[in-house]
Amino acid sequence: MNLLKVSQIAAELQVTGACVYGWIKQGKIPSVRLGKLVRVDREELNRFLARRTQDGSRPQGETR
């Protein structure tokens, strides 16, 4: 399991951390809470991105 910080995901997708937290809150990206910390498994992020690629849309805020 490769857990990513929200800031790492935001940097990779060139979006804000608030945007990533929004997707997590909406249930679009499954996450793990470790106390106050939020982490996302790399495989879950890849699934999220694959779903967006398959339907031709981009995550809101994604510029690439």
Query: Per residue in 44-57, pLDDT tens?
Result: 999 999 998 877 66
State residue 60's pLDDT score: 53
For the chain, give the percent of residues with pLDDT over 70: 86
Per domain, the residue ranges of the chain are 3-54
Residue 32 has a CB neighbour count (10 Å cut-off) of 12
Instruction: Give residues with Cβ within 8 angstroms of 4, minimum separation 6.
Output: 39, 40, 41, 42, 45
Copy the structure tokens of residue 1.
Answer: 């399991």
State residue 55's pLDDT score: 72
* pLDDT category of residue 10 using cuts at 50, 70 and 90: very high
